[in-house]
Amino acid sequence: MFGADLAVKWIHVSSACLLLGSLALMLAVPALGSGDSNPITELVMSRAKTIVHGSLGVLLLTGAYNFWRVLTNNTLAHSSVYQDVLGVKMVLFLIILGLAIVALKRAAGSAATPRARRLLPWMVFLTLLVVLLSTYLNLERIHLLVQDAETSAVTAPAGTG
Ligand code: HEM
């Protein structure tokens, strides 16, 4: 299982990097060209849009695997703090997904519309917030597992540990 966990987590974190990178590119690109009709701007915007949609899809799939691994872990499945933070992360993910659909659909001509430009910084902010919550989840998981191991060591009958 360790190999699968490592591979899925690597894909999950790499997709998060690609998502943030593409969103940052979409924010920066309109400033690069001489206007929205610039063909290079349009090409970069349309490719960045594909990467944003693709990385959100991969994050959903790999996140579902991570979630399943959490549910099948006795310690994590019974920690309300861990579950609550994971719940907030999922709600934020759904908001980002909604914004990606609305903002980038409106940017149908590849170049960002004024509305998309207004929504893009929010998507970057919410994605950074999701990364913060994910880092918290990781530290909280390690903390809970260490605590669990310590409790088992203390309560184990002499000679069994
Ligand atoms: C914008 C979308 C997302 C981003 C940017 C994101 C980012 C991350 C990152 C950076 C980590 C690694 C944290 C670390 O090891 O320090 C992580 C772990 C994780 N993610 Fe996501 N994620 C996203 C979506 C999702 C979704 C949709 C789910 C659930 C369906 C999910 C479930 C998880 C779980 C359970 C972990 C493991 C946390 C732990 O180590 O205990 N993620 N995520």
65-113, pLDDT tens digit by residue? 999 999 898 888 888 999 999 999 999 999 999 999 888 775 545 556 6
What does the alpha-carbon distance between residue 124 and residue 93 come to, in Å, rounded to a whole number? 12
- What pLDDT does 128 receive? 98
Of the residues 10, 62, 66, which should be mutated to test ligand 1's pocket, given the most ligand atoms within 8 Å of the CB?
66
13 or 73, greater pLDDT: 13
Report residue 124: phi and psi, to 5°: -65, -45
Nearest Cα residue to 107 out of 29, 16, 12: 29
- What pLDDT does 161 receive? 45
Nearest Cα residue to 12 out of 53, 76, 51, 57: 57
Domain ranges of the chain: 2-151
- Find out whether the beta carbon of 112 lies less than 6 Å from any atom of ligand 1: no
Q: Atom 21 of ligand 1 has which residue's CA nearest to it?
A: 63
In sequence order, the 6+-apart residues with CB closer than 8 A to the CB of 98 are: none
Query: Confidence class of residue 127 from pLDDT cuts 50, 70 and 90?
Result: very high
- Find out whether the beta carbon of 27 lies less than 6 Å from any atom of ligand 1: no
Residue type, 16: A
- Find out whether the beta carbon of 67 lies less than 6 Å from any atom of ligand 1: yes
The predicted model scores a pTM of: 0.89
- pLDDT single digits (tens) 17-58: 999 999 999 888 866 655 556 788 888 888 999 999 999 999
In sequence order, the 6+-apart residues with CB closer than 8 A to the CB of 150 are: none
